[in-house]
Amino acid sequence: MGLSFDPSFFLYELGVAVSYLPVVALLSGVPLLGGLALGTFFALCRVYRVPFWQKFAQGYVVVMRSVPMLLQMFLAYFFMKAVYGALSLSAADMDKTAIVTASLTLNAAGFLSEGVRSALLSVERGQQEAGESVGLTQMQIIRCLVLPQCLPVAVPVVGQGFISIIKGSAAAYLLGVIEMIQGTAMKTAGNYRYLEAYCATAIIYWGLTMLVERLTFALERKVRRHAG
């Protein structure tokens, strides 16, 4: 029996995959923004040796980078299930999308924190001393001198982190969240044309990855010109 590929069904599945882009945007965009904010906070705490938070951030990063992301999702799900049980609430009422999004955010914070920390350390110590010499506060030095100059190093790291989050969001179906892969697979009921479905989904993910890479390169060039 030869390989069978139905172009018309492939195009249909391509449209189905596109319809799930808002779900992918939610499961990846929110974790990127939340993870970047939390990761930047942790990175600043480690670089500037903030009491308590320095040790906490260091331990957090180690844990998040050591435990597989999928396992983190399951831990978050069953933790919330236990909380609902303790409160005599029905686990069926849990917002699984919120759980996945929160889990991806916490995971992203651990990985992005290391990238941001490296970017912060790339700024010469002389910038700190220059800011102090003109009477700037520590927060003003960070906001006006350090962060703008570390952007050329941080942007590529954040871009790659975003790509990892996009791909990682595909695992959401294991917790019952219908995302792009699950959505296209559901349309194969009765014809079993999974090849067309998965090829269509792969193309969309490839397109998203290429788009993020292009935007990252463009932003990196822009911040480098501005920093220079």
Model pLDDT for residues 7-16, shown as the tens digit of each residue = 999 999 999 9
Burial 103-115 (b: 16+ CB within 10 A, else e): bbbbbbbbbbbbb
Domains held by the chain: number: 1
SS3 content of the chain, % helix, strand, coil (to 5): 85, 0, 15
- Domain of residue 116, CATH code: 1.10.3720.10
**pLDDT tens-digit readout, 110-121:** 999 999 999 888
Tell me whether residue 82 is in a domain.
yes
Which one, of 109, 8, 14, lies nearest residue 64 by Cα? 109
User: What is the pLDDT, as a whole number, of residue 1?
Assistant: 40
**Pair 187, 12: CB distance under 8 Å:** yes
Specify if 76 maps to a domain: yes
Binned at pLDDT 50, 70 and 90, residue 227 comes out as: low
Confidence (pTM): 0.89
In a domain, 194, yes or no: no
How many CA atoms lie less than 13 Å away from 161 in the CB half-sphere? 28
**Which pLDDT band holds residue 51 (cuts at 50, 70, 90)?**
very high
**174 lies in some domain:** yes
Instruction: Return contacts of 144-149, CB within 8 angstroms, 24+ apart.
Output: 146/120, 148/226, 148/227, 149/123, 149/227
Asked if the structure places residue 113 within a domain, the reply is yes
- What pLDDT, on the 0 to 100 scale, is given for residue 3? 66
Evaluate whether residue 209 is within a structural domain.
no
User: What backbone torsions phi and psi does residue 57 show, to the nearest 5 degrees?
Assistant: -65, -40
Structure tokens at 53: 């938070």
Residue 124 forms part of a structural domain: yes
Structural domain of 60: 22-180
pLDDT higher at 3 or 12:
12
Residue 61 burial by Cβ neighbours in a 10 Å radius (0-12, 13-18, 19+): buried
